[in-house]
């Protein structure tokens, strides 16, 4: 059975003169729909865009916001860049890990939360900074970690 997003790929191929140009918007759209990019999905994308699968895999791997395995319904990124580190990012991460019972890079067994480190999120004036499903939160002092788990998106 063909992937349901094949129509998007065909539309993007018409919109962009080069298949490479359609790759990022297509991967983004698929991830928004499916939550992550499986190896099978990447292979299908390569076929649909007439690109080498290694090209598609390398692009998906380069951008850390493309998930190569399933993630939780709430994805938390904690910035560990220097300004955030100086303002307690490590303690924030440790509190989240202890509370959730997972390490950074993991997802809770119930699929509720995934926790990731991030390099500078370009909001240093809000340090320490986190993102919840890509929405900025900051400053988030370590003792306020539970707010990241309760806030609406």
Whole-angstrom distance, CA of residue 14 vs CA of residue 25: 13
Identified binder of ligand FES from the candidate list 79, 115, 130, 148, rule CB under 6 A = 79
3 state DSSP class of 148: helix
- Number of residues this chain uses to bind ligand FES (CB under 6 A): 12
Whole-angstrom distance, CA of residue 90 vs CA of residue 9: 41
CA 57 from chain center: how many Å?
Answer: 15
Identified binder of ligand FES from the candidate list 60, 75, 84, 130, rule CB under 6 A = 84
Q: Does 24 sit near ligand FES (CB under 6 A)?
A: no
Answer for the pair 139, 126: CB distance below 8 angstroms, yes or no: yes
Q: Build a one-symbol-per-residue string for 92-131: x at contacts with ligand FES by CB under 6 A, - elsewhere.
A: ----------------------------xxxxx--x-x--
Pairing of strands 130-132, 135-137: antiparallel
Identified binder of ligand FES from the candidate list 83, 139, 141, 142, rule CB under 6 A = 83
Q: Build a one-symbol-per-residue string for 35-74: x at contacts with ligand FES by CB under 6 A, - elsewhere.
A: ----------------------------------------
Answer for the pair 21, 11: CB distance below 8 angstroms, yes or no: no
Residues at the contact surface with ligand FES, assessed by CB under 6 A: 79, 81-84, 120-124, 127, 129
């Amino acid at each position: 059975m063909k992937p349901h997003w094949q129509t998007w790929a065909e539309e993007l191929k018409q919109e962009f003169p080069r298949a490479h140009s359609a790759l990022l918007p297509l991967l983004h759209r698929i991830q928004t729909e499916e939550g992550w990019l499986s190896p099978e999905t990447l292979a299908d994308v390569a076929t649909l865009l007439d690109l080498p699968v290694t090209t598609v895999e390398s692009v998906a791997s380069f951008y850390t916001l493309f998930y190569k395995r399933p993630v939780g319904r709430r994805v938390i990124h904690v910035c560990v860049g220097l300004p955030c580190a100086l303002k307690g990012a490590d303690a924030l991460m440790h509190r989240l890990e202890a509370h959730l019972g997972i390490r950074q890079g993991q997802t809770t067994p119930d699929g509720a939360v995934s926790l990731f480190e991030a390099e500078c999120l370009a909001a240093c004036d809000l340090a320490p900074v986190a993102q919840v499903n890509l929405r900025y939160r900051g400053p988030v002092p370590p003792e306020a970690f539970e707010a990241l788990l309760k806030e609406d998106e």
